[in-house]
Amino acid sequence: MEYKVPTVAELAAAGETPDVLFWVGCAGSFDDRYKNVTRAFVKILNKIGIKFAVLGTEESCTGDPARRAGNEFLFQMQAMSNIQVLNGYEIKRIVTACPHCFNVLKNEYPALGGTYEVMHHSSFLQQLINEGKITMKGGGEFKGKRITYHDSCYLGRGNGIYEAPREVLEALDAELVEMKRSKAKGLCCGAGGAQMWKEPEPGFPDPKKAKDINVERAEEALATGAQTIAVACPFCMVMLSDGVKAKNKENEVNVVDLAELIDRSL
Amino acid sequence: MEFLPRIIFILILGVTAWLIFKRARYINRNIYLGKSQDRTDHKSERLRNLLLIAFGQKKMFKRPIPAVLHLFIYVGFFVINIEVLEFVIDGIFGSHRFFASIIGGDGLYTAALNLFEFLAVLILISCVVFLIRRNVLKVNRFKGEEMTHWPKLDANLILVFEIILMSAILTMNATDTLLQARDERYVATGSFFFSGLLTPLFQDLSTPTLVIIERATWWLHIIGILAFTVYITYSKHLHIFLAFPNTYYADIKPKAEMRNMPEVTREVKSMLGITDTTAPDHAAPEAPGEGMEIGRFGAKDINDLSWKNILDSYTCTQCGRCSSMCPAWQTGKKLSPRKIVMDVRARAEEVGNSLDSGGPGLEDGKSLFRDYITEEEINACTSCQACVEACPVMINPLDVILQMRRYMAMEESSSPQEWQMMFQNIETSFAPWKFPPSDRFNWAESLRENKES
């Protein structure tokens, strides 16, 4: 099948605006593993026939990692220029697969003059499922399979989105199993707050107790016996994939994004 | 002669009121060492939080066992205060069981006292269980480098204090019941179930001895309560008062949202040549030295934090739910959100004490950042908001951490090397990784291959 990935600029040249802008994010654009999630989501958008567009090379970092690491100047420089682009194209609705981009676009851009209707792809997919626009193939790939969902901090605690990703997984007819720490009590993957871009600070000096956060979380996910660990964040994906690898389980257990699960079941 | 106890009582009451007033003024001044920040919006949501989370103890029930024990003490504290009112009236006017002499000692009065005794017993049991949890069971969240010395002693003292106060009230009622049968000046009441269990211990004692025990426990209870109230102002136990305002003034915004810095917005807008209609003063020339007067970027010391950050620190009862949920703390990193909050209070008090003794206050060559809180702690945070979520009284340790990161990045450029690289990548490549911006759309190539057709 042929997929269209129109840019906002292309639409604008034809005098059109998209119904929704897909904000790809830096991980979605550059991380080899996560690019598959971006493509999966675009395929879904194509199959459903939503009039969407991306910014392409006009997209730029939201500034979130700079802000979390304390560099407010850099954050606001990024935010302001992004807002100029978005407002220039008269963008009204944005969907993104990255909870960090989601949080910043939704909650933090309004104070700088950028107010949009922003959705995370989990809420977006849930809405499409509820509206009947996404229907899974009968007996899809994940029917009856055991899946556990890892809450992203910036979706769950940060923005109260706990149910949307779970409803998406339930639509797969999968057996959803919860980890010991989930929802509001969910354990971070270890990448938030710009930790993604640095080595963790030293932990327990005792080598028997020493463990990185992502390994701790991966152990908890593996303990559920699920073959699939569903995530909804590019950084959680990196951290948990590494954690699963550290436990030598990468051949048995997959770390997969919600969009990939839906795309494979369509 | 019979006036003497009344005069002594009124004096003690007056001194207590004066001490509490002075302490309240001191704490209030320390809180307002922080920056002003408007938190008067969203009144109905704030009221809702106050009712559900402070009065209703909603967030405590995430951990049911301590929540139930804590609820006993909390309800007991509220209800037994009615009896304290009678103590105060009796103390001032020299009456005995004033309410009983008005409404009669049986019926409602006996029922109320039985309820108070029941709550007193629940408080006793809860305090004993809490002492065991702290000192024998070694619950993990009560550990940590910040929980030694005074914080550890403080926690135990509070529990012992409450046990003494409750034992006094039960002993007093037991001896009073015996005295009612021997001396008609003691207002007759119905029988009390719990103190009734104690009467066999005292019934063989002589009447003068019973009078002494009854009076001694009366004084012990009321002076104990007054002394405890003063003690609380030095203790982590302040949460019994401050949990209410702290919950009311807590953040209403989503937990993941960071507060904007309007002073940076003004500068960025002028750098980008955007006319700022929201800040009429942006055109005013800024002399180089002026920045210091406006305040520094981020937080180095307590006066850079908001008043709410300091109120948070005075509200903290060091329960450690924040740290026990923190991914950094759980994996042995130096960061403990509880310590961050405790450090804010310790520094506020250091500065406050210095100011009160005519000292240099904030200019003592020390600061919250570095002298109390280290870079290693600040850099370990994943901003996952588990600490914010866990706190039963809506304290936000994350807010302090993020403000210190701003200080490190913007005032000192002392962020970790890897973060400096990340900043550079965003500045030059518009992504936190070093990829050419022109490659940003390459992911679509495989999908767009047949685009021309």
Q: Each residue of A68-93: pLDDT tens digit?
A: 999 999 999 999 999 999 999 999 99
* Strand partners of residue A7: A54
Task: Provide the token pair at B453.
Answer: 């057709």
- Chain A residues near residue B143 by CB distance under 8 angstroms: none
Summary mean pLDDT of chain B? 91
Q: Could you say which DSSP state residue A7 is in? A: B
| CB neighbours of residue B278 within 10 Å | 11
Q: In this complex, which of B254, B408, B440 lies closest to A56 when CB atoms are compared? A: B440
What pLDDT is attached to residue A138? 66
Task: Provide the token pair at A19.
Answer: 């119904």
Tell me the pLDDT tens digit for each residue of B26-46: 999 999 999 999 999 999 999
What pLDDT is attached to residue B346? 97
Q: At what angle do helices B417-429 and A72-88 cross, to 10 degrees?
A: 30
Cα dihedral A238, A244, A245, A246 in deg (nearest 10) = 110
Write down the H helix ranges in chain A. 8-13, 25-30, 32-48, 64-68, 72-88, 99-103, 121-130, 156-159, 163-170, 213-222, 234-246, 258-265
What is the residue extent of each domain of chain B? 3-31+63-248, 295-435
Q: In this complex, which of B389, B422, B447 lies closest to A157 when CB atoms are compared? A: B389
Q: Give the Cα separation of A170 and A165 in Å (integer).
A: 9
What pLDDT is attached to residue B452? 43
With a pLDDT cut of 70, the percent of chain B lying above it is: 94
**Nearest residue in chain A measured CA to CA from B415:** A69
What pLDDT is attached to residue B277? 57
Domains of chain A, earliest start first: 8-125 (3.40.50.1860), 136-265 (3.40.50)
pLDDT bin (cut points 50, 70, 90) of residue B211 is: very high
ipTM for this prediction: 0.95
Q: In this complex, which of B334, B418, B444 lies closest to A5 when CB atoms are compared? A: B444
User: With an 8 Å Cβ cutoff, are B331 and A203 in contact?
Assistant: yes
Tell me the pLDDT tens digit for each residue of B266-275: 999 988 887 7
| CB neighbours of residue B293 within 10 Å | 7
- Chain B residues near residue A33 by CB distance under 8 angstroms: none
User: With an 8 Å Cβ cutoff, are A39 and B430 in contact?
Assistant: no
- Rounded to a whole number, what is the distance in Å from the CA of B425 to chain A's nearest CA? 10
What pLDDT is attached to residue B276? 59
φ, ψ for residue B407, nearest 5 deg: -60, -45
Of A115-129, A140-154, B311-325, B416-430, the least confident = A140-154
**Residue B80 near residue B74 (C-beta atoms within 8 A):** no
Summary mean pLDDT of chain A? 94
**Residue B151 near residue B317 (C-beta atoms within 8 A):** no
| Architecture of the domain made up of B295-435 | Orthogonal Bundle (1.10)
Amino acid code (one letter) for B298: G
Tell me the pLDDT tens digit for each residue of B111-127: 999 999 999 999 999 99
pLDDT bin (cut points 50, 70, 90) of residue B285 is: very low
